[in-house]
């Protein structure tokens, strides 16, 4: 053995001492700029058929018959599949993560305009598309309901005859067997005595706020393909954020064991929640089993508006405060427009619902959150899992209250903000969460104490803030495998999907840190359920924390095995060893290359060391009646945004001139990726704040196109945008990290609405903040800047 200095010299010149905190570029960067990155979108399978979907033209009705003869007769059409055909391979073809309520293809009923009824299969996708309009469906129309408040009323048209919880989630089981209602979930939280609190309050504020339905629009439209192996197994290639769940659900639908289904994915061209749980996978699986040929279905951008959307919401918010600004009571009722099928809506309703009182320390709280079926396209999770829809009401109202009390918006929030050691409304005691620090940083970055220039004339300037909180979705499990190969290199096997958030890179950083390897030298294997172990899903900013922990444990497990093998070679106890640059180094300076350990043990370059790590976030289920829990979530995310705007009082047009985002991210494992996540999330939410909204006529989406549904482009990005982090380490996060993918979305919308009121004295209660709404509010307020009276609220 030689000294470590000799061995390391030259071999690992320039080796960094740590992988954590490195702003390394995405590992797949080169593939992405050369057009060679792998997406399922690219996939061709020999013998593959393309499927195109025939959809319901009416929002609600009984499906009496489907005539496919003309489509089948078209040259080049291989087959046309209907709901009846699906029953031949899936006896109970209803799927979904929360409820088993969504048929693979419509069987007896259609529930929204766009509900899939049949699929045309052809070798040429253009022939399949041409044949779709030749299908004729006979539908007996039923009265439809589109508004979440209308649908929640007794006597409203009923979208589903019976509520069918999936059994996946314990907290949904109580809903089983309910009928005659559109309420798919009723979550409640009670803390203290809210009526008593309102009695004790000096002022009570009550408002109704609404958010609109939007859509994820990943640039890679959702795509899935299926094929059969020679032994009859099913292989599903899918742009999915949750390969493990897809495997379970397909196996359940077929009555197969999980090992008969293989689900693999590649890089995703964006996800944002659109590719979660199960989307097209059951359809391609059934089609493949029926025709015994590979089948690929790739949605168009327009079709994505029929697949999954962001919930529209209505929230009543009533808040009682003391004259000094202390919030003493808050009652919140939220109705979530879930659309035709539950998807993950009931979980959004609950998991976000319990945060509806905001990041505030309030003694008396009453929260009700209702998931409501309607005859619109289905709503699910979209970057924030419902949080932006709740921060909107509570942070708009925070500003209204502060203004009425004559308090500075920072001071009002600071007075009420949760702090470590204090109980959240759920009863869970907050820890390792930087509520006041995030607010302070925002105040500093906005230079709030400096004089703010407010232009005179028709363009008025204003500024506003907001702060939101999200709880990590739980209980969830991640499993990881770290495989050390005979030459000392390694691969990490996880089912976390990289959809642009940079998870491959951060995974490699964590494994590299533990194993003393450069991040660039760690291979991250993409999800393939034949190879990569279970992961709940890539959602809700959970991967860095959950999978990060699993990867860290797996790497430590591999390292321990390696040290066990090496301890006799180095004649040192395991505890005295460390890994650096492909060498095991002892405290007295002796070292051996990892590859030489394999050589010594196996007699040649051979063998593996397989490390396994499994991590489950801490959780205690809430009491059903009160929502109270000692551990409602493993960690909290805090995001705050400040906005400066210019409002054109003649047109109502709002320009955001500066957007400042601050979040508590725990340890920033990769500061560059963290900053990009905050920035991207904030700009995405800017779209939902300013322009994005699905419009309908008689249940038909009329702007299912990027021509009419406006997502942010270059000119929508504020001239100034900055992102800042507070790094308060989490005691159980990997190297102290928390999640960061959604925090930038939380407070963008209320910050801008608050800035508008600051600029021109009018309040808009419904997002998005279109010129029309701002203009109407200005007109209603007599177009005077000093008039603070809004139109949607009342005060006692």
Partner 1 sequence: MNTTRHINLTLNSHQVEADVDSSETLEGVLRRCFDLYGARESCGQGLCGCCTVLVNGAAVPGCLHLAALADGAEITTIEGLSDGEKLDPVQEAFVENAAFQCGFCTSGFVLMTKQLLADNPRPTDDEIKHYLSGNLCRCAAYPEILNAVRRLTRDA
Residues that bind partner 1 (CB under 8 A): 25-26, 28-37, 39, 41-42, 44, 126, 216-221, 267-272, 300-302, 499-502, 672-673, 676, 679-680, 683-684, 705-707, 711-715, 717, 721
Residue 251: strand, helix, or coil: helix
* Least distance to partner 1, CB of residue 508, Å: 16
DSSP state of 735: G
* Rounded Cα distance, 691 and 771, in Å: 9
Pick 10 or 714: Cβ nearer partner 1 = 714
Pick 697 or 707: Cβ nearer partner 1 = 707
User: Among 97, 92, 256, which residue's Cα sits nearest to residue 167?
Assistant: 97
Pick 346 or 500: Cβ nearer partner 1 = 500
* Least distance to partner 1, CB of residue 40, Å: 11
Pick 397 or 670: Cβ nearer partner 1 = 670
* Least distance to partner 1, CB of residue 639, Å: 16
* Least distance to partner 1, CB of residue 71, Å: 16
CA of 479: how far to CAs of 515, 553, 556, 636, 740, in Å? 18, 9, 14, 22, 20
Contact 658, 664 (CB under 8 A): no
* Least distance to partner 1, CB of residue 225, Å: 14
Pick 9 or 29: Cβ nearer partner 1 = 29
DSSP state of 675: H
Pick 83 or 269: Cβ nearer partner 1 = 269
* Least distance to partner 1, CB of residue 176, Å: 38
Pick 70 or 593: Cβ nearer partner 1 = 70
* Least distance to partner 1, CB of residue 198, Å: 42
Which helix or strand (DSSP H or E) is residue 559 part of? helix 548-570
* Least distance to partner 1, CB of residue 545, Å: 20
Rg of the chain on CA atoms, in Å: 27
Pick 219 or 606: Cβ nearer partner 1 = 219
HSE of 120, CA atoms in CB hemisphere, 13 A: 31
* Rounded Cα distance, 412 and 395, in Å: 11
The neighbouring-strand residues paired with 492 are 482, 524
Non-local (6+) Cβ contacts of 600 within 8 A are: 569
Pick 89 or 302: Cβ nearer partner 1 = 302
* Least distance to partner 1, CB of residue 384, Å: 15
Residue 274: strand, helix, or coil: coil
User: Among 484, 360, 372, which residue's Cα sits nearest to residue 416?
Assistant: 360
- Both tokens of 492, joined, read 């990490």
* Rounded Cα distance, 408 and 361, in Å: 18
User: How many Cβ atoms from other residues are within 10 Å of residue 251's Cβ?
Assistant: 17
Angle at 296 between CA 294 and CA 298, to 5 degrees: 180
* Rounded Cα distance, 480 and 534, in Å: 8
Pick 101 or 220: Cβ nearer partner 1 = 220
Pick 242 or 476: Cβ nearer partner 1 = 242
* Rounded Cα distance, 201 and 568, in Å: 72
User: How many Cβ atoms from other residues are within 10 Å of residue 453's Cβ?
Assistant: 7
Contact 388, 310 (CB under 8 A): no
Pick 355 or 685: Cβ nearer partner 1 = 685
Reported in sequence order, the residue ranges of 35-134 that DSSP labels E, i.e. its strands, are: 49-55, 61-67, 77-82, 94-95, 102-103, 109-110, 116-122
* Least distance to partner 1, CB of residue 269, Å: 3
CA of 763: how far to CAs of 184, 402, 656, 782, in Å? 32, 14, 16, 13
Residue 219: strand, helix, or coil: coil
* Least distance to partner 1, CB of residue 680, Å: 4
* Least distance to partner 1, CB of residue 291, Å: 21
């Amino acid at each position: 053995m030689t000294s470590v200095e000799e061995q390391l010299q030259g071999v690992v010149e320039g080796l960094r001492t740590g992988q954590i905190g490195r702003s390394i570029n995405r590992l797949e960067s080169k593939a992405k700029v050369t057009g060679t990155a792998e997406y399922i979108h690219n996939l061709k399978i020999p013998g593959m058929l393309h499927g195109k979907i025939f959809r319901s033209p009416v929002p609600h009705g009984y499906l009496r018959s489907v005539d496919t003869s003309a489509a089948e007769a078209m040259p080049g059409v291989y087959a046309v599949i209907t709901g009846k055909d699906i029953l031949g391979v899936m006896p109970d073809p209803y799927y979904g993560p929360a409820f088993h309520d969504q048929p693979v293809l419509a069987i007896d009923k259609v529930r929204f305009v766009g509900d899939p009824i049949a699929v045309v299969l052809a070798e040429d996708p253009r022939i399949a598309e041409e044949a779709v309009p030749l299908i004729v469906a006979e539908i007996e129309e039923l009265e439809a309901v589109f508004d979440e408040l209308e649908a929640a009323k007794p006597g409203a048209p009923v979208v589903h005859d019976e509520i069918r919880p999936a059994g996946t989630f314990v907290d949904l089981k109580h809903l089983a067997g309910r009928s005659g209602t559109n309420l798919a979930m009723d979550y409640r939280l009670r803390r203290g005595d809210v009526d008593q609190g309102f009695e004790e309050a000096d002022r009570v504020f009550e408002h109704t706020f609404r958010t609109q339905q939007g859509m994820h629009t990943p640039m890679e439209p959702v795509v899935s393909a299926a094929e059969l192996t020679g032994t009859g197994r099913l292989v599903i290639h899918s742009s999915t954020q949750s390969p493990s769940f897809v495997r379970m659900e397909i196996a359940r639908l077929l009555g197969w064991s999980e090992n008969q289904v293989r689900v693999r994915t590649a890089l995703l061209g964006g996800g944002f929640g659109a590719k979660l749980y199960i989307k097209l996978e059951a359809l391609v699986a059934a089609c493949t089993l029926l025709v015994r040929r590979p089948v690929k279905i790739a949605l168009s951008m327009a079709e994505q508006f029929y697949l999954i959307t962001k919930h529209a919401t209505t929230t009543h918010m009533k808040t009682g405060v003391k004259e000094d600004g202390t919030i003493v009571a808050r009652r919140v009722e939220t109705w979530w427009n879930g659309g035709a099928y539950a998807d993950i809506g009931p979980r959004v309703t609950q998991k976000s619902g319990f945060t509806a009182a905001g990041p505030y320390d309030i003694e008396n709280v009453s929260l009700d959150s209702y998931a409501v079926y309607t005859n619109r396209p289905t709503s699910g999770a979209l970057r924030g899992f419902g949080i932006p829809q709740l921060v909107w009401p509570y942070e708009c109202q925070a500003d209204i209250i502060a203004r009425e009390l004559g308090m500075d918006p920072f001071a009002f929030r600071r007075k009420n903000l949760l702090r470590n050691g204090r109980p959240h409304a759920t009863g869970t005691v907050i820890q390792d969460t930087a509520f006041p620090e995030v607010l302070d940083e925002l105040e500093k970055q906005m230079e709030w104490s400096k004089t703010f220039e407010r232009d005179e004339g028709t363009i008025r300037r204003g500024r506003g803030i907001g702060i939101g909180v999200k709880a990590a979705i739980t209980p969830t499990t991640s499993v990881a495998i770290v495989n050390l190969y005979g030459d000392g290199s390694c691969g990490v096997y996880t089912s976390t999907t990289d959809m642009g958030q940079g998870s491959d890179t951060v995974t490699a950083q964590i494994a590299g840190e533990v194993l003393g390897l450069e991040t660039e030298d760690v291979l991250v294997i993409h999800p393939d359920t034949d190879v990569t172990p279970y992961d709940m899903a890539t959602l809700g900013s959970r991967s860095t924390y959950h999978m990060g922990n699993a990867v860290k444990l797996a790497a430590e497990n591999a390292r321990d095995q390696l040290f066990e093998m090496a301890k006799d070679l180095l004649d040192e106890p395991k505890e005295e060893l460390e890994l650096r640059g492909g060498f095991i180094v002892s405290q007295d300076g002796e070292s051996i290359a990892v590859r030489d350990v394999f050589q010594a043990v196996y007699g040649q370059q051979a063998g593996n060391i397989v490390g396994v790590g499994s991590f489950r976030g801490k959780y205690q289920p809430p009491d059903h009646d009160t929502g109270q829990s000692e551990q409602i979530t493993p960690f909290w995310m805090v995001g705050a945004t400040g906005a400066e705007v210019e409002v054109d009082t003649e047109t109502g047009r709002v320009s955001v001139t500066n957007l400042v985002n601050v979040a508590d991210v725990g340890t920033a494992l990769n500061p560059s990726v963290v900053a990009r996540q905050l920035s991207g999330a904030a700009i995405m939410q800017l779209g939902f704040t300013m322009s994005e909204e699905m419009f309908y006529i008689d249940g038909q989406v009329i702007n299912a196109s990027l021509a009419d549904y406006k997502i942010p482009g270059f000119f929508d990005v504020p001239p100034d945008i900055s992102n800042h982090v507070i790094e308060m380490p989490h005691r159980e996060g990997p190297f102290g990290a928390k999640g960061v993918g959604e925090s930038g979305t939380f407070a963008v919308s209320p910050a801008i609405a608050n800035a508008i009121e600051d600029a021109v004295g009018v309040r808009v209660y419904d997002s998005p903040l279109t010129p029309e709404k701002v203009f109407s509010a200005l007109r209603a307020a007599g177009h005077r800047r000093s008039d603070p009276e809004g139109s949607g609220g009342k005060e006692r």
